Every structure is written in C-alpha cells, then in structure tokens.
Structure 1
Amino acid sequence: MSSSPASFPAPAQPYGRPPLRAVQVLGGAGAGSSAHVRSLTTGLAARGVRVTVCAPVAAEGEYDFTGAGAEFTPDAASALRAACAGADVVHAHGIRAGMRAALALRHGLGRGRGRTVPLVVTWHGSAPEPAGPLGRLSRLLERHVARAAAVVLGSSSDQVDLARRRGARDARLAAVAVPAAAALPDTGKTRAELGAVERPLIIAVGSLVARRGYSVLLDAARAWRVMEPLPLLVIAGEGPLRPELTRRIEEEGLPVRLLGRRRDADRLLAAADVAVLPSRWEGRSLLAQEALRAGVALVATEVGAVPELVGDAAVLVPYGDSGALAGAVAALLDDPDRRAALAVAGRAQAATWPSEDDTVAQVLAVYDELMDRPIS
C-alpha cells in the first residue's frame, strides 16, 4: 500500500470561505475502510481541507493518519463529541461509525459556523441480515443511520439500494478507491520464506472470523492433498477462529499455514499463483482489488459487491460450496495460460475503477454541496 501523500496544490477557498473542517470517523480498524480513510485524508488535506480522523489507536498505528496530514483523536465518545462540535462536516465509515457519529452530533455541540453539522456516511458493506432479534436490531441501526445522514455513499449498487430501502434521503454510488501497491521485492524470495519454491502457492487474506468462510476453505484444502506437487495455502490474518482452524489443520494434516496478522499482505499476494476469497459476504473487497491490480488469478465467492467489482476478471463460485471452490482453484493451478489470461483481464478491470483522485474529488464535491445548502 502506498503511503506517500499526493502532491496536489491547495486551492484558495471559494468566496473567502475559511478552510473546510472535516471529521472522518472509523468504527473499527478494518483494512478496507481504514485504507480508504487514509487515502481520502491524504487527498483532502492536500486540497486544503482540515481533516480530523477519529479512530481506534491501533488504526492510527498502522495507517498513520497524521502522516497523511490529519489531526488524530482516539475514538472515545467524549473525543468524538468534541471533534464533531468543531466540524463543518462529519463523514462516518460504516454503520457502527455512523451510529456513533449521529449520537455525537445529537448530544454534542455540533453546530459548525452557526449551522447544523451535516453527516455523510459511507456504507462499505453490510452482512446478510441475521435471523431473529439480531436481525431486527441490525435493521433498526441501519434505518437510524440512513435517516440521520444528509448523504449516504454506497460502495456498491446493492449498498445504495439498501440505504434507500432503509429510508436514506439521499443515497449515491461512490466507489471506495484505495492506494495501489508500491513496487514489490523479488517474489522468489517471498516464496522461499513461505516454503513454496517448488509447489503452488495459494493465499487468502482477512481476519479469522466466521464470515470469511475459512472453514469452507479448509474443506477445499483437504481435496488438494491429492495434487502433485502439493499446493500450500497461506492465510494472513488474525482472529477468534485461530484455535479452531489450527486444530483442524493439525488433525487433518492440511497443507495450510496460518501466518497471523501481516503488514506485508501485498508482498505475499504478489508471490501467489492464486488468491482466494471464500467469504459469506463482501463489500468492495480490498483483497479482490489488490489481486486484480497485481495480476494474480482470483477465485472468489459470488456474493455482495464482488461480481460488480471484478466483472469477468475472476472465477466466481457459490458461497459454502467447498467442491466448487476446490475445483476452481485446482483447475487454475493446472492451467497457466488461463491464469495469464486472468492476469491481463484483472489489470484491465482494475483500470476501469475510479482512481483515488476521482474518489477524493467526488467526496469533496459532496462536502461543498452540503456547505451550500440552506442553514438548518
């Protein structure tokens, strides 16, 4: 992931208006939303916007929002209220962040320059509704956030449709661009470090939680044991399912390594023969974006925003079908020409996505539009 700030001139503020003050609110340290906020912060700060990022301390440690030109404040409720009170616009990323920002604006002093501070919420992706009370609570939170926001920005068409169903006054499609990876070191060295010099390398990246579909992925890995040479599956990520996955790997003799949380996932990905995304749901997947940009063949589940994101540049399989997942990966490992064709198609598909500059320009246009609306 690139961390160098973009070099945009800071334009004069229109009509003598003082610099816009924007607060970015993160509800967690998820890779996709955190990388997006880092990218957005860089572009906004370079254009003269005063940015405050309110996020978990762990996210600041990994993504260095201050290095991108922002003021950082931890995501404690009191700090969030104080940040929102001095803002012209508050931009929350995700339902949880949107709920916390809405409460902060309601209970804080939130009137920027004599006006009610508008709330923008980007929906990065919502899991399928759980059944029972949890499902009702999820819908309630989504409705509250959708109706509290002046504008909802959906990272995919299904997110825009969902926001409208939940009562959003203004919901728009706004692709979440993230930085392209920087130049990477020799992939041969990476493969040697992983123990995959003379065997195929498969990679998955993401937290070890149920929605990632890793139990299905281990079922697929069991089928790969008959292949020669034996593929190696590496999973970069950490989470509560580690003990369960470790037990299965050891008991079933699976060709799988759990690497834990890694900051060099892009380097690992570039060395792989195939990337896998077995999730139960995904928004605008960071792994999918990085795989296509790197020219790595991708096998992913046909869920959420994935089909819209990858087009024909990846192999899609149904969620939960370990046989389909195993077969798709095995077929790609046996067909280097098909992998090469997907590499070309992936880079072409990635070229159609909005750039970081496009994303920043769209978000800034939304902010400016809100500043020009009548005072409420």
Structure 2
Amino acid sequence: MSLVTSHSPHGQPSLRTVQVLGGGSVASSAHVRSLTAGLVARGVRVTVCAPVEAERAYDFTGVGADHVHVPRSSDPASVAALRAACTDADLVHAHGLHASFRTALALGGRRTPLVVTWHNRAHAEGARAHLLRMLERRAVRAATLVLGTTSDLVDRARRSGARDARLAAIALPGRRPALDPEDPDRLPPKILAELGALGRPLLLAVGSLDRHRGYDTLLDASRAWCRLEPAPLVLIAGEGPLRAELQRRIDAEELPVRLLGRRDDVGELLAVADLALLTSRWESRSVLVQEALHARVPLVATRVGGVPELVGDAAELVPYGDPYALADTVVRLLGDPARREELAEKGVRQAASWPTEDETVAQVLSVYDELTQPRPLS
C-alpha cells in the first residue's frame, strides 16, 4: 500500500519516484533533467538524488523536483542518505553503473521496483575492469528492469544476468535549433580568426581527453592532412588526463591540431566546422553525433558500440584505431562537396527518426505503470 497522499491533476494518487544520478555524464544528467520535467508535468512526484554539483549545473528543483544531496561515493553515509530518500518511494530509477550499484546497496531487501538505465559503458583496464564487471553484475541482478540506450548495452545487461532488459527511448534534451546554412552569420569571422581557421577547413572532435577517445589515432591521421592546401585544422574540445601527453605530441610533430579545453559553445563550434570527428573505442548515443547530424555537419565516426545503430547511412564509418582509414576518409570528403551535402541531408532525416523528449517520457511512464501495478495473489 502506498503512503503517498498527494494527487495528480486527474485526481488519482500520484506516483512517487526517486531518480538517482552519480557523477553523471553530460548526456545522462541532461536526460534526468528532461525526464524529471516530463514526469512532473504529468503529475508524478520526483526526488532527484545527486551530488550538489549536479543540482547546481542542471537545476532539477527548477523543473519541480525535490533534490537530495547524495555524494558519488559508495561509503556508508552516502548509502544511508540514499536509503532514507527512497523511503516510501513507489519506484526508484538509477542512471549509470555507479548510481545503480549504490542504489542496489541502499534498497537492500526492499521490494521497491528498481529500474536501471545504462547510458554508456564504463571504461577501464586491468584489475579495475574486473571490478567494474563485478559492479555491473551486482547492479543488473538487483534491478527489476534494465533499460539500455543501445542494443549492445541491452545484450550486455542480459549476459550479466538481468532479469529483464529492454532498449530505451532516449532523446537529445535541450538541443539548440538547427542553424541555417544560408545565414551569413553562421560563419562568424571572429570565431574563425580566434581559432586560427580563416581560409582553411575545420575538423571538430568533442570529448574528454581520455585513452578510450582514440585521440592518439586522430593525431596520427592528422599528419596526412598536412599535405593538403590549405591544411585542415583539427579542434578538440574537452579536458582530461591526457592533455599534457597530447600537447607534447602536437608540439613535437607540429601537427595541425589545437586543444581547446572544456567549452560551453560546442553548438557554435559545430556551426563553423566542415566535418565532425568521433574516434572513440566505444560510444552509445554520442551527444556529438546527435548534435552534428541535427546541425547538418558531415560526420566521420568509428564503427563501434551504438554508433552504427544511431547514424544509419548518414555518416562515414571507419574502424577504431585505424589512422589510415580515418585520414583517407577525411581527405576524400574534403574533396567531395557533393558527398558532404548528401551526408548533411541524410543526417537531418536520420535525426528526425530519433525519439523526442515526449516519446522518451511516455515510454518511461509506461514502464513505471507496468512495474507498480498491484500483482494478483497466486
């Protein structure tokens, strides 16, 4: 029996859900905010358990949720705070591996339905990779249902012992309107001048400077572009532990690459890019991929994870870790305006096939309804 006493706009007792977010990637944090706004608008009571930094960045309370500060740590105090926040919840929804593991610990033997969404795959090597696999198994086996943002994540959850695993509808929240390529202000000279890109092709990669992003392959490939006239400039927007190592290579080899650090103007950078590049070892629903297709920017990406499923035939796909294939594809596209325009058109059509935010909320509500219905006594 639910202890909830508030009511939905339709006069029925409202569902109380707890959304649990760990450190949270940009994609998962934005998704939780979008989902929270949609649920609240439909009469669902939502508590978001997340670090206070996530609340400052995404303002969950601004869309009608209650926020409870729960640090990313799995120490006993954090688990106890999460357990208290989940008291009397009708359903708990955890996003990401660390959040789902902590939630499984917090719920213990409670019969509260637990939904886990896997937005991405954790990356690690050696002993840490083994630990992550153990966390995955513990989390998915505790879940009533696992939602994966890509088919291979759904398959991975099933192999890890999930009782029920399904493909999730995930929208790209808060997307900027597509830029008009005929707009003369689309290519602001000031931005191009600041980037040192006046009169030369611009190639954009976005993502943390971590090993799994494949930036070593990108630097290898950039050598081939030096022979073009004018030589393209590669911009990498992101920050991370490999910055010093990558910068040393760029300087020593005089590569046409600039590390921009963390940026909040990726939309504007895409507006001036000739190509978008994704060189990762694995991705699910890459934000860069989605933004590039929406913005009519031709994309070259590695054929990994959920990327082929996401882009269909609207991008050029290359093997991971192959600088020659990457370099050849980029050179070919830069010399073929007709193919770039074809990819731009296909990208817009492919983006139109992706779930909307309303469709994402509707699927989640359907799942919540299914899992919270009283079950007949056997």
Structure 2 length normalisation: TM-score?
0.89
Aligned pairs, how many?
357
1:327-342 correspondence runs (5 A): 327-342=328-343
Q: Is the Cα contact below 8 Å between 2:40 and 2:63 reproduced in 1? A: yes
Q: Is the Cα contact below 8 Å between 1:234 and 1:259 reproduced in 2? A: yes
1:244-283 correspondence runs (5 A): 244-283=245-284
Query: Following TM superposition, by how much is the alpha carbon of 1:127 offset from its aligned partner in structure 2, in angstroms?
Result: 4.9
Larger CA deviation: 316-325 vs 187-196: 187-196
Within the candidate set 66, 69, 74, 1:71 is matched to 66
Query: Following TM superposition, by how much is the alpha carbon of 1:129 offset from its aligned partner in structure 2, in angstroms?
Result: 7.7
Question: 2:101 — aligned with what?
Answer: 99
Query: Following TM superposition, by how much is the alpha carbon of 1:136 offset from its aligned partner in structure 2, in angstroms?
Result: 3.2
CA–CA distance in 2 between the matches of 1:252 and 1:172? 47
Larger CA deviation: 117-126 vs 61-70: 61-70
Q: Is the Cα contact below 8 Å between 1:127 and 1:281 reproduced in 2? A: no
CA–CA distance in 1 between the matches of 2:192 and 2:367? 45
Unaligned runs of 5+ in 1: 1-9, 111-115
% identical equivalent positions: 63
CA deviation vs aligned residue, 1:216-270 (integer Å, no higher than 9, x gap):
1111112211111111111111111111111111111111111111122122122
CA–CA distance in 2 between the matches of 1:320 and 1:183? 31
Question: 1:137 — aligned with what?
Answer: 131
Report the secondary structure of 1:42's partner residue: helix
Query: Following TM superposition, by how much is the alpha carbon of 1:65 offset from its aligned partner in structure 2, in angstroms?
Result: 2.0
Q: Is the Cα contact below 8 Å between 1:249 and 1:255 reproduced in 2? A: yes
Q: Is the Cα contact below 8 Å between 2:46 and 2:65 reproduced in 1? A: yes
Within the candidate set 39, 50, 60, 2:55 is matched to 60
Structure 1 length normalisation: TM-score?
0.89
Report the secondary structure of 1:282's partner residue: coil
Unaligned runs of 5+ in 2: 1-6, 72-77
Matched, 1:177 2:138: no
Question: 1:119 — aligned with what?
Answer: 114
1:283-302 correspondence runs (5 A): 283-302=284-303
1:147-226 correspondence runs (5 A): 147-179=141-173, 180-182=175-177, 186-189=185-188, 190-226=191-227
CA–CA distance in 1 between the matches of 2:236 and 2:376? 51
CA–CA distance in 1 between the matches of 2:205 and 2:124? 25
Query: Following TM superposition, by how much is the alpha carbon of 1:101 offset from its aligned partner in structure 2, in angstroms?
Result: 1.0
Amino acid at match of 1:94: G
Query: Following TM superposition, by how much is the alpha carbon of 1:375 offset from its aligned partner in structure 2, in angstroms?
Result: 9.2
Report the secondary structure of 2:218's partner residue: helix
Q: Is the Cα contact below 8 Å between 2:315 and 2:347 reproduced in 1? A: yes
CA deviation vs aligned residue, 1:148-170 (integer Å, no higher than 9, x gap):
00111011111111111111111
Query: Following TM superposition, by how much is the alpha carbon of 1:48 offset from its aligned partner in structure 2, in angstroms?
Result: 1.4
Query: Following TM superposition, by how much is the alpha carbon of 1:140 offset from its aligned partner in structure 2, in angstroms?
Result: 1.8
Q: Is the Cα contact below 8 Å between 2:300 and 2:317 reproduced in 1? A: yes
CA–CA distance in 1 between the matches of 2:84 and 2:376? 21
Report the secondary structure of 1:85's partner residue: coil
Q: Is the Cα contact below 8 Å between 1:313 and 1:346 reproduced in 2? A: yes
Matched, 1:27 2:26: no
CA–CA distance in 1 between the matches of 2:244 and 2:56? 26
Query: Following TM superposition, by how much is the alpha carbon of 1:17 offset from its aligned partner in structure 2, in angstroms?
Result: 3.8
Q: Is the Cα contact below 8 Å between 1:156 and 1:175 reproduced in 2? A: no
CA deviation vs aligned residue, 1:111-164 (integer Å, no higher than 9, x gap):
xxxxx3211001112257845x44432322211111100111011111111111
CA deviation vs aligned residue, 1:162-215 (integer Å, no higher than 9, x gap):
111111111111132122223659332233432222111110111111111111
CA–CA distance in 2 between the matches of 1:220 and 1:59? 36
CA–CA distance in 1 between the matches of 2:82 and 2:265? 31
CA–CA distance in 1 between the matches of 2:369 and 2:87? 19
CA–CA distance in 2 between the matches of 1:330 and 1:146? 44
Within the candidate set 1, 9, 18, 1:12 is matched to 9
Question: 1:45 — aligned with what?
Answer: 40
Aligned-residue CA RMSD (Å): 2.1
Matched, 1:233 2:230: no
**1:304–1:106 Cα change, 3 Å:** same
Query: Following TM superposition, by how much is the alpha carbon of 1:87 offset from its aligned partner in structure 2, in angstroms?
Result: 2.0
